A and B are shown apart, each in its own frame.
With several copies, the nearest count.
Chain A
Amino acid sequence: MEHAVKLNFPSDPRYLGVVRGAIERFASLAGFDEEDCRWITLAVHEALTNVIRHAYQNRHDQPVEMRLSERDGGIEVLMVDHGKGVKPEQMSGRDLEDVRPGGLGLHMIREIMDKAVYSPLEGRNELLLFKVKGSKPSVGE
């Protein structure tokens, strides 16, 4: 079975905790240590809040799909939405030197994961996240 665990749920922040519960256990199953499981959970969570806020513009009743798999000695997460896509180059984090709220999510995702590929397709946007075992985020520079 290629995709081991599939989750479908509405774009409501209520369910963020449920999704984190599943991701954290899946990362542990895939062989990541406790700290890495926390990081991966954070990155996937941030990507999901972006789908809720940007792709679905805070509508809470839209469908989100997430596929978790173990692949190439790591964890792969595919997130699918049917909301508003943007050009991949518009998905950009901001300069962190400027202290202000917001604009931290993409930065966190890129620091934590080894791969983050966004594909806005016809009526369907996909975000593919991948992290291999042993790679660490570069915390605090």
Chain B
Amino acid sequence: MNIATRQNGTSTVVDVKGDIDLYNSPEVRKVILEELKEKKTARVIVNLSGVRYIDSSGVASLVEGLKVSRTLASRFMLYGLSPAAREVLELSRLIRVFEVYASEEEALKAQ
């Protein structure tokens, strides 16, 4: 798994590549929480287009990002879900809780 952040306007995009599982989800969590809590980024967009596999600990990291973003009144968005990633969020009844977009552009434009 590889994770990197980049600026796009006032938003930060978190690019994740590879499988997100118990082995590396702590790193995903750390990067997301740092963006939200320390850098106080108003809009964090997680790019999952390079992620084929995500387990429940990966989902938990995303849920934590979402919860923290709510307390800080910032935005937390996902895009580029593979069928497998979407299925996992559906199975955990979380797909409707997240703001999910088809592309980075849509996530950036969203009000």
Enumerate chain A interface residues (CB-CB to B < 8 A): 13-14, 16-17, 20, 35, 38-39, 41-42, 45-46, 49, 52-53, 96-97, 99-102, 104-105, 107-108, 111-112, 137, 139-141
Not counting A99-B66, A101-B63, A102-B60, a sample of 11 additional A-B residue pairs whose C-beta atoms are within 8 angstroms of each other reads A16-B23, A17-B23, A38-B84, A39-B87, A46-B55, A49-B56, A101-B64, A101-B67, A108-B56, A108-B88, A139-B87
- Which of the segments B8-16, B41-49, B91-99, B102-110 contacts the partner chain? B91-99
Confirm or deny: B61 has a beta carbon within 8 angstroms of a beta carbon on chain A: yes
Chain A residues lying within 8 Å of B74, measured Cβ to Cβ, are none
Chain A, Cβ-Cβ closest to B82: A38
* Assembly CA distance A35 to B91 (angstroms): 13
The interface size of chain B toward A, counting residues with CB under 8 Å, comes to 26
Known: A49-B22, A49-B57. A108 touches B91 (CB 8 A): yes
* Assembly CA distance A14 to B19 (angstroms): 12
Confirm or deny: B59 has a beta carbon within 8 angstroms of a beta carbon on chain A: yes
